[in-house]
Amino acid sequence: MYADDTNITFHSLNLGELEDKMNMELINSNTLLIYNTSSLNIAKTEFIVIGSRQRLATFENNDLNIFVNEIR
């Protein structure tokens, strides 16, 4: 891990709520980075959804729409 690595963790039973929380936090984090004359490397930014096999099987990969600066 590097000094500039950041992790954001959320939990929810509802996929839509998880998407909303994540998008809002990315907006807030990106605003803070810009304020501190830094930037978010979108090309290296990743997310993972962790859950039971049964829960993960209920949605497709494109069910989550996570955006940073309107880039998916």
- Identify which of 9, 8, 26, 10 has the alpha carbon closest to the alpha carbon of residue 66: 26
Asked if residue 3 belongs to a domain, the reply is no
More confident residue, 3 or 19: 19
Asked if residue 4 belongs to a domain, the reply is no
The fraction of the chain above a pLDDT of 90, given in percent, is 11
Q: What local confidence, expressed as pLDDT, does residue 2 receive?
A: 52
pTM of the model: 0.77
pLDDT of 65 above 90: no
- Which range marks the domain in which residue 59 is found? 15-63
Question: For the chain, what is the domain count?
Answer: 1
Cα(40)–Cα(43) distance, integer angstroms:
9
Asked if residue 19 belongs to a domain, the reply is yes
Q: What local confidence, expressed as pLDDT, does residue 1 receive?
A: 43
Asked if residue 8 belongs to a domain, the reply is no
Asked if residue 6 belongs to a domain, the reply is no
Q: What local confidence, expressed as pLDDT, does residue 63 receive?
A: 74
Asked if residue 32 belongs to a domain, the reply is yes
Taking residue 26's Cβ as centre, other Cβ atoms within 10 Å add up to 19
